Structure 1
Amino acid sequence: MYYLNFDLKTFIDQYWQKKPLLIRNAFENFEDIITPDELAGLACEEAVSSRVVVTKENDWQMIEGPFEDYTQFGDKNWQLLVQALNHWHPDSADFINAFRFLPDWRFDDLMVSFATPGGGVGAHIDNYDVFIIQGEGERHWTVGDKGQYAPKNNDPTTPLIEGFEPIIDAILQKGDLLYIPPGYPHQGQTITTAMSYSMGFRAPSQQELFSEIADNLIDNAIGLKRFTSNSEPTQPSQVSADHQQGMMALISEFASSPTHYQAVLGKMLSLNRFELDICEPQEVYRAEELDDYINQGALLYRIGGLKLLQLESDSVSRVFINGEAFEYPEAIAKNVTQLAEKLSFDNEQATLLLQCSATKALILTLLNRGYFYFGE
């Protein structure tokens, strides 16, 4: 099991989305979640998002996976990055659980890095919160303060920046954690062959929110109310301030109605950026078969990375899963909340859930969608 070795309330109050923080020995007796060979094997798969970053003099080369051979890269100055390990590696579930003091909707993915000496991605700025946890080996991390930074080599298309003055300068060892909020420049350089883990947490931008709202309006043929006015400007070429404000009020009127925005948010926030390892059954489950599996001692698991989200004060009894709303009778609200809160259920817990016919019907749907599965 993985447990964070610091006070979570203090972290939230003083550091979360405010300023960077280095925590030594944040995980006591930390053990790597995956071996380098296992990680390299995952990066051979077409469905897994992976890349190799090669460090060159004053530059970096990025090569997209999948990969069949790594000998071409030599024994230094490169690193392998695999996104969304939690989607493909069930053993990462305990590690993910340690960070669920933050809401599931924020969690993006667990990225894993295997880096050789000299490997790194250069100084850059992310637009999301990240926790970097050091596994085997050592990496040298520097973090700068917020500010205006020139793009690397004056290239406006690159995410890399020129140098910065560090406010954190440290060598991370096994179990150490570095937290970096959005907007703070940082850079990692590998000292000895190393494994490291990046937990990314994202929030939607205005652009993303407007895009989702627009898609929802079009898909559901709603939002057709038009602007009307009580007066007109005296100059025919003028768009009056009242008219401008009245038109924009149509947007705020829609955006302030829970009936409209809750569905948009629920679907948007329950989606993943990276492909899920959907576990569709070879044959469709039938309701009567579920009891047989449980009687044989089966456990019930949620696939890695799947988000089950409920909106507080939702206007409808529903749970959002992978961009879709699943409505349910209010009588099983507690069972649905349990499904959303837990990543797995032992045999006794699963037995209790399946005793309710409405809950069983929902679980049957999720099993046949490949969102849940039975295991030992």
Structure 2
Amino acid sequence: MYTLNFDTAAFVKDTWQKKPIVIKNAFNAFEDPISADELAGLAMEEDISSRIVQTKPDGWNVIQGPFEDYDEYGENGWQLLVQAVNHWYPESQAFVEAFRFLPDWRFDDLMVSFATPKGGVGPHIDNYDVFIIQGEGERRWKVGDRGDHKQRGGDINSPLVDDFEPIIDVVLTKGDILYIPPGFPHCGETLSLALSYSIGFRAPSQQELLTELADALIDNNCGQHRFTSNEEVANKGQVSQAQQQGIMDLLAQLANDPNQYQTMLGKMLSQNRFELDINPFEQAISSVDVIEAIEDGASLQRVGGLKILSLENDKQAQIYINGEAVNVDNIESEIIDIVSNEHLICQSVLLNWKDLPAVITLLTLCVNQGWLYFAE
């Protein structure tokens, strides 16, 4: 249903994380995957992250959701943004699927915005890659070059930056895409009532990696090796360059040992920033129940936004689901690939697995945890 009109392999080679680009008519006959009314309904929910950004003469005002009514905001100068729509609105998965030419571990979420004329969020810089897809209506976007961009008004806590000289100045219409890598300032202004979609991709920072690694070492009582040296320089108050490097090499040893980092990395990369629509079984079902459901015609569907990842050359027989390591010992790699890659495992595939105890045990765990659910 949602097929991209550009060469994704060439895009990754020539454009990805290098430069912003406008792709006109990136979809054939693009249809909005969600309506404005349905988006407003999601914004009423406590568990769903939403906000309204009002354009003011002296800047922007942000109001956090949920929202019951929009009359007070008028007909112009505001924008509703709802995060992680793919977690809560299953019909959006087909749209998200078009961007799976990039790996799942990078994928952040689908943010959807409904904007009135003159609505926008102001000039800002993101630390992640984003594809902005235009639905109904029109929006004008300006993108600046990387550089030393000051925060607006000199406020170091402001998410906004000062105005910039654009290298892209374009009006997006239905089905157009604007791709922006990290570090490029950008600003959008709505020209007519508009629905827009932001597909974000993130990677961990050094700070996040060190925090997760430290937590994992503490939890597992690992990382006890201390610095040793063969000689000491008699220079009372000074730490030699060799000793500085030797101490920091302790971290390098951890980073170069898969046994130390792989489980931590798999857990970290399979986590989501936003809540998932997960409903674990209150009373656990059995493997027999799963087999019976399969024989009765059930397929298995992944809940929206859930990441199921495997690590190449993993030293442990594990996959990583929603921040947890799950044992996959005695399961063939081809089956692991299907579980990791496919959002829907159809009944015809499941029937081939029903006599494989390790696979059925895995699927039963996933159903009981609320990660997978039975679908027609």
Q: Into which bin does the TM-score normalised by the smaller protein fall?
A: over 0.9
How far did 1:77 drift?
Answer: 0.5
* Matching residue of 2:62: 62
Q: Indicate if the aligned counterparts of 2:331 and 2:359 stay in contact, CA closer than 8 A.
A: no
Mapped pair 1:290 → 2:295 = no
How far did 1:316 drift?
Answer: 1.3
Deviations 1:42-81 (A, max 9, x none): 1111100110101101300001111111111111100110
Q: Indicate if the aligned counterparts of 1:279 and 1:372 stay in contact, CA closer than 8 A.
A: no
Amino acid of the structure 1 residue aligned with 2:12: I
| Structure 1 CA distance for aligned equivalents of residues 274 and 234 of structure 2 | 54
Percentage of identical aligned residues: 54
Q: Indicate if the aligned counterparts of 1:279 and 1:373 stay in contact, CA closer than 8 A.
A: no
Instruction: Report how many aligned residue pairs link the two structures.
Output: 376
* Matching residue of 1:92: 92
Amino acid of the structure 2 residue aligned with 1:223: G
* Matching residue of 2:178: 178
- In the TM superposition, what are the counterparts of 1:279-358 in structure 2 within 5 Å? 279-358=279-358
- In the TM superposition, what are the counterparts of 1:210-225 in structure 2 within 5 Å? 210-225=210-225
Deviations 1:27-54 (A, max 9, x none): 1111111111111111111100110101
| Structure 2 CA distance for aligned equivalents of residues 153 and 240 of structure 1 | 43
Q: Indicate if the aligned counterparts of 1:77 and 1:116 stay in contact, CA closer than 8 A.
A: yes
- In the TM superposition, what are the counterparts of 1:168-317 in structure 2 within 5 Å? 168-317=168-317
Q: Secondary structure at the match of 1:108?
A: strand
Alpha-carbon RMSD across the aligned residues, in angstroms, is: 1.1
* Matching residue of 1:128: 128
* Matching residue of 2:149: 149
How far did 1:351 drift?
Answer: 2.1
Q: Secondary structure at the match of 1:353?
A: coil
Amino acid of the structure 2 residue aligned with 1:69: D
| Structure 2 CA distance for aligned equivalents of residues 281 and 250 of structure 1 | 44
| Structure 2 CA distance for aligned equivalents of residues 337 and 355 of structure 1 | 18
How far did 1:331 drift?
Answer: 3.8
Q: Indicate if the aligned counterparts of 1:83 and 1:111 stay in contact, CA closer than 8 A.
A: yes
Q: Indicate if the aligned counterparts of 2:291 and 2:360 stay in contact, CA closer than 8 A.
A: no
Amino acid of the structure 1 residue aligned with 2:237: S
Mapped pair 1:166 → 2:175 = no
How far did 1:346 drift?
Answer: 2.2
Deviations 1:97-138 (A, max 9, x none): 111110100000000000011110001100000000000000
- In the TM superposition, what are the counterparts of 1:29-44 in structure 2 within 5 Å? 29-44=29-44
| Structure 1 CA distance for aligned equivalents of residues 339 and 93 of structure 2 | 15
Q: Secondary structure at the match of 1:130?
A: strand
Amino acid of the structure 2 residue aligned with 1:345: I
How far did 1:282 drift?
Answer: 4.7
- In the TM superposition, what are the counterparts of 1:64-83 in structure 2 within 5 Å? 64-83=64-83
* Matching residue of 1:105: 105
Q: Indicate if the aligned counterparts of 2:266 and 2:309 stay in contact, CA closer than 8 A.
A: yes
How far did 1:213 drift?
Answer: 0.9
How far did 1:184 drift?
Answer: 0.4
Q: Secondary structure at the match of 2:69?
A: coil
Q: Secondary structure at the match of 1:62?
A: strand
How far did 1:355 drift?
Answer: 3.4
TM-score normalised by length of structure 2:
0.98
When structure 1 is superposed on structure 2, of 134-143 and 68-77 the one drifting more is 68-77
When structure 1 is superposed on structure 2, of 331-340 and 67-76 the one drifting more is 331-340
* Matching residue of 1:372: 372
- Alignment gaps of 5+ in structure 1: none
Structure 1 consecutive aligned stretches of length 4 or more whose deviation exceeds 4 Å = none
| Structure 2 CA distance for aligned equivalents of residues 204 and 337 of structure 1 | 24
TM-score normalised by length of structure 1:
0.98
Q: Indicate if the aligned counterparts of 1:332 and 1:359 stay in contact, CA closer than 8 A.
A: no
When structure 1 is superposed on structure 2, of 92-101 and 348-357 the one drifting more is 348-357
When structure 1 is superposed on structure 2, of 28-37 and 277-286 the one drifting more is 277-286
- In the TM superposition, what are the counterparts of 1:5-16 in structure 2 within 5 Å? 5-16=5-16
